[in-house]
Amino acid sequence: SYELTQPPSVSVSPGQTARITCSGDALPKKYAYWYQQKSGQAPVLVIYEDSKRPSGIPERFSGSSSGTMATLTISGAQVEDEADYSCYSTDISVYHRVFGGGTKLTVL
């Protein structure tokens, strides 16, 4: 079955740039999406179609994709950005959707 691979954790100091990667064989042909999930809350979409930002999401959140890797970048990370971040995509068939294992971002 199709898999998306993320690092388990990323840690930055406030004001630094955080980068979270997501690798998958179908990413050259399929969009990546990113969700933020704070403790005890439902996920929130922060990036769609590789690099688009939904309304209400701060400009410090950006996304990119190249080859088999998608990247979520948080420029000038803030303490309130501390959360789990999960990438999402579809396999080549589009029938199956998949989440990455999630990355815990610590801003400390």
Site for another protein in 13-72 (CB under 8 A): 31, 33, 35, 37, 42-45, 48-49, 54
Residue holding tokens 């890797």? 69
Choice between 71 and 89, CB closer to another protein: 89
Q: What is the DSSP string of 41-94?
A: S--EEEEBTTTB--TTS-TTEEEEEETTEEEEEETT--GGG-EEEEEEEE-TTS
Query: How near is the Cβ of 78 to another protein at its closest, in Å?
Result: 23
Tokens representing residue 35 in the block:
């969700």
Contact between 70 and 27 under an 8 Å Cβ cutoff? The reply is yes
Nearer to another protein, 71 or 86 (CB): 86
Q: 44 or 69, CB closer to another protein?
A: 44
86-105 binders of another protein (CB under 8 A): 86, 88, 90, 94-102
Q: Which is nearer to another protein, 13 or 48 (CB)?
A: 48
What is the rounded CA–CA span in Å between residue 24 and residue 99?
11
Residues near another protein (CB under 8 A) are 1, 31, 33, 35, 37, 42-45, 48-49, 54, 84, 86, 88, 90, 94-102
